[in-house]
Structure formats: C-alpha cells, structure tokens
Amino acid sequence: MSNTITAHDFVVVGAGSAGCALAHRLTEDSDRDVLLLEAGQPDDKEEIHTPPLFPELYRTAVDWDYYTEPQPELHDRKLYHPRGKTLGGSSSLNAMIYIRGHPWDYDHWADLGNDGWSYEAMLDHFKRAEHFEPGDGDFHGEGGPLNVTTLEDTHPVSEALVEGMAEAGIEHNPDFNGERLAGSGFYHVTQRDGKRCSSAAAYIKPALDRSNLTVETGAQVTDITFDGDRATGVRYEQDGTEHTAEAGSEIVLSAGAINSPQLLLLSGIGPAAHLEEHGIDVRVDLPGVGKNLQDHLKVGVVYEQTGGPEAPAPSSNVVESGCFVHLDEDEPAPDLQFHNAPVYLLEHGLTPPDDDRSFFTIIPTQIRPDSTGEVRLASDDPYHSPVIDPNYLGADGDIDPLVEGIKLARDVADTDPVDEFCGAEVHPGPEVTSESGLREFVREHASTVYHPVGTCRMGDDDMAVVDDELRVHGVEGLRVADASIMPDIVGGNTNAPSIAIGEKASALLTE
C-alpha cells in the first residue's frame, strides 16, 4: 500500500459534534492549517437533513452499527448502539434535542479538580456556539454557528402531553436551558428553516472555502505516530492508500466515547496488561483508557392514539416534548427525564407496530446512573469493532428511576388533557402492575438513549486519561475533545455539551 505524507499545524480526528466545532474555530485564524479526518462519508443522505426521518439512518452506511456485550442485568441482551459515521457524527443521526444539562453537572466537574469547567465558565462556550432564534439573553447567545430554535409545528399529542405533565404536578418550564432544568415543556432543537442543523451544517459547511481547512472523508485513522513521548501525527487509510498526516502543533482526538479510547489503545496508550494481551507495544500504561463508560438508559410506555394527525410535521424532531423530574429531592439535580413522541417509538423506531393504529410513546429515561462500564479492544485490527460493555443497571438502585418513570408516565396518560388522545396502553400493558412485573419489563425492554461518555475521563487521579486542559497524561502534543472526557455524565442529552467541549478545546488550544 502506497504512503503519502502531509504536514499541518493541527490534526483533528473525527468530524462529529466536538470535532466540527474545534476545526471551525481553529481555522478562524488563517495562519493555522488544520486537517479534519472523518471515517464516514459526506452527509449527503436526504434522511439526515429531514428531521423526522432520523430512524431511517440507523443500520445504514452512516452508522457504525455497534452492539454491546451481553448485559447481565438486561437478560443478557446485546443492545444496539448507533453512532454517527458521517460528517457531523452523531449530530447527523440524533433527535436534534438541545439540552445542556444542569449547572451542578459542570460545577461538579470543577469540584473534582478540573479548573475552568464550572457552569459559569462553560456557559460562555454554550452561548458562543449558539444562535438562539427566540433571542439572546443571560442564558443564550446570538450570532453563533449552531442554530437553536423552537419547533415550527408541534403535534397536538405533544401539546396535550405537556399540559398533562403539568396537571400531574410537573411544573411547566418554557426553557430547559434557562434558569432551571426541572419541569415540563417542549425541547429546543438544532434546526434551521425546518432542516437539521448538525455540527457539520453549523461549523464545517460555512468554512469549506477556507484555504487553511482540509476535510477528508472516508479516512479511517489506524494509529498515532510518535517521536519519543511526543505525538507527531496519525496514519489513516483512504481509498486503498495509506497516508501519514503530521501535526506541527497538536493532534486532537474527537472520535467520540467509543472510537477515541479505541484509537488510544491501538496506539499503545492504555492499561498495559490489555495492550500486551493484543500484542501492542505499551507506550503509556494509562489504566483509565476505555474505563468509566456511562450512558443513559430508557424504556418506552406506548399508548394507542385516538385523535390528531397520524404523523408529525416534516420539521418535527419526533421527540418533541419532555420533562426533568427530581425523584429524590435530596439530589442536587433531576434524576429522571421524559422523551415524548407522538409515534410508536420502540426498538429505536426500527420495528413498526403490527397493525394500522396510531400510537404515542412516553419514554422515561434514567439520567444519573451509578453504573460504569468500559470500551476495550477486540483485536489489534483498527477495522474491528471494539468491545462495548456499559454494565447497564450494574449498580444497585439504577433500575429504580425507570420503574418510577413508568408509574409517572401512567399518571400523565391519565390526565384530562391527554385523555382526548389516549386509548389503550399497549406497552407494557395494563396487566403489568406489580413492582416485580415492572422491573422485569425494564430488564426485558430497556435500551440506550445514545449518550455514551466518560471513557477518556478528565482529571488528575490514577484513572484519569486527560487533564483539565484535555492533554493526554504521559505524552505531549495529544489531546482528546469529545464526550469521552466527561468525568461524570451530564443529566440530559449530550450533543450540546459535546459541542461546548469542542468550543472549550479551541479556546485552550488558541489561548
């Protein structure tokens, strides 16, 4: 295989939520030359840009199509784990929900010793990223690349569910990204003119005419090159040709919580015993690489829909409304989230109902898990999917929010506003009422809500992978900037925080 060599100031691996933001900001200075590498192809599929069609992207060429290891607490099921493999990464496949999380999330990161990561500090990066269509203010920005807006056309069932949640005691909240997170309401979405505004649409498409930005797709990075303790570049394969991209300043891994640790491990950075098991020379014995995998687990409660339109509007993100609830009032932040959809949304939308009725789905989501898992190598082949073992429900008590969430979903469905549209409960069904029955239902049907984080955890202890400036411990010239650096998972959807991490990384690299 032939080899070509190119030289750049910065090499960014992964054109996902964080990587696109980082590459855009770095190339605002024309003196910086940046190469952005993406293993997937361009985001040309129409389903990417048409909001309600995102389930049709799963298990296609724009999806890494991962599966977990059998999960003991979920009846040994292997859970499907979609990840974006295209420009924009998972921001090109997700439900476009824009949620930052609770201020406590970031203050907690700072309390763990990560200077500069408090909510007050991170708010600047959120606002810098954002063009908030309803208007800027204390909590929102204007003029940023990422368009954040309210839904153009909400479904009557979604509207009834918002009213029903309020009637069930969940106070209405018009802005989950404002003064408070708790409450019920409609989600803000990353859309522009009714189309998806992925990180690629926001940050990369407007920058493609910059002479100092090179974007390569179909570029599978295989390992990192070194000169002593300094990372000097990456090797990648594209169209049958091997390339070496050298970085005069730094390399930044933004390949996500699955692929960033995989690439570190393939390059000899990780737990020594695991690397030796796969015949990989140990460059840095860094035991935390791939550990601390955290994710949010969800379960769907489905009802027959007896009125209203059969389908959401063409601009709908499907999961239009929701809420954040304190089940444990002693907790500093909400521990349960709802994702509500005016459609049948089980098995990731891949399995249609077996009859012609219309349905709506209330989806309790456990957002503060104590369980942690890991990502590890299956082999030393960079094309071999890594082993993904989230250890779902491995910690005592992690199942409780989902069980209580089902009960609360039933309370919402029983309110007057929802009654107009609510027929029979079809999943789990009215016969499932006992505590043991609900727990069994969760174990049989719970699935990921696509928020893996934490596998290159930020900190200064023995299990940390990067420091609070995102530099990989034990080497020079190498950083990680994506959801993998989160010390603990945020209590909400992870796309907005990932973009803010990219913004933060650009500030660290250019200060």
Options 348, 427, 451, 473, the catalytic residue: 451
The tokens 């094309």 sit on which residue? 383
Q: Is the pTM of this model over 0.85?
A: yes
Q: How many CB atoms lie within 10 A of CB 383?
A: 9
**CA atoms of 301 and 428, how far apart (whole Å):** 6
Is 451 tagged catalytic?
yes
Dihedral sign computed on CA atoms, order 277, 283, 286, 292: negative
The answer to whether residues 58 and 350 touch, using CB atoms and an 8 Å cutoff, is: yes
- The two tokens of residue 311 are 């389908």
**Domains (range + CATH), the chain:** 1-117+187-292+452-511 (3.50.50.60), 152-185+297-368+394-445 (3.30.410.40)
Give, in order, the Cα–Cα distances in Å from 500 to each of 13, 43, 213, 477, 506: 17, 22, 20, 21, 10
Instruction: Give the DSSP H or E segment for 6.
Output: strand 3-13
**Confidence bin at 247 (pLDDT 50/70/90):** very high
Identify the band that residue 2 occupies on the pLDDT scale cut at 50, 70 and 90: low
* pLDDT tens readout for residues 111-147: 999 999 999 999 999 999 999 999 878 999 999 999 9
pLDDT in tens, 252-293: 999 999 999 999 999 999 999 999 999 999 999 999 999 999
